[in-house]
Amino acid sequence: GENVEQHPSTLSVQEGDSAVIKCTYSDSASNYFPWYKQELGKRPQLIIDIRSNVGEKKDQRIAVTLNKTAKHFSLHITETQPEDSAVYFCAASLGTLIQGAQKLVFGQGTRLTINP
Amino acid sequence: EAEVAQSPRYKITEKSQAVAFWCDPISGHATLYWYRQILGQGPELLVQFQDESVVDDSQLPKDRFSAERLKGVDSTLKIQPAELGDSAMYLCASSQEGNNEQFFGPGTRLTVL
């Protein structure tokens, strides 16, 4: 089955700097890669996702890159702000637009702290 | 904005007791998931429903866990008997047919004493 590894487990950056979180996956058939943000005591919320037919996707200060050959994908947050402090989870799944979502296999999470 | 609802938000029980969690997905979402999240780890899928049918329960400890979604809408996850190692956050999520995005509920935090 799919296995997702996420690094680093903790990350501390100065406000305004960039943060990068990396994930690797094992199943080359995986084709959907979302990133979730989970603030303390709150539900995970999708912040960005990418499909295997795209190499990069950007949404304002957040971007995700995917390298299918190497089976890894990364989250990039630029101009970090205190409200970016949270736990971030990457995930991988076999999803089809016909059948809908398949199960997500999550990484272990990265606790990001933005220092003012 | 529609959200996934879960109850209770917190549950404390003693080992060997039975517990049940309830989830109401976003209206119209055919797929429902139950995940378990141990503190400091990512969520792990326990069971996935497509309407009222189970499509994946390979990670569900079936000797003590059960899940149902009788009318294909809301769902109940039960543990009987609870063990100390079951202490975790139980998250419910739902997704729309033809869409990979999963929407999570607030979770039920279970503490087994």
Residue with tokens 């200060």: A61
* Residue ranges for chain B with pLDDT beneath 70: none
DSSP labels, B76-102: EEEESS--GGG-EEEEEEEE-TT----
Q: What's the confidence (pLDDT) of residue B61?
A: 94
Q: What's the confidence (pLDDT) of residue A41?
A: 84
Alpha-carbon distance B13 to A4, whole Å? Answer: 32
Between the alpha carbon of residue B74 and those of residues A109, B78, B91, the distances in Å are 29, 14, 14
Q: Shortest Cα distance from A80 to chain B (angstroms)?
A: 23
Q: Shortest Cα distance from B95 to chain A (angstroms)?
A: 7
| Closest residue of chain B to A111, computed from CA coordinates | B40
Q: For residue range A13-27, what is the model confidence (pLDDT) as tens digits?
A: 999 999 999 999 999
Average pLDDT over residues A61-88: 96
| Closest residue of chain A to B92, computed from CA coordinates | A43
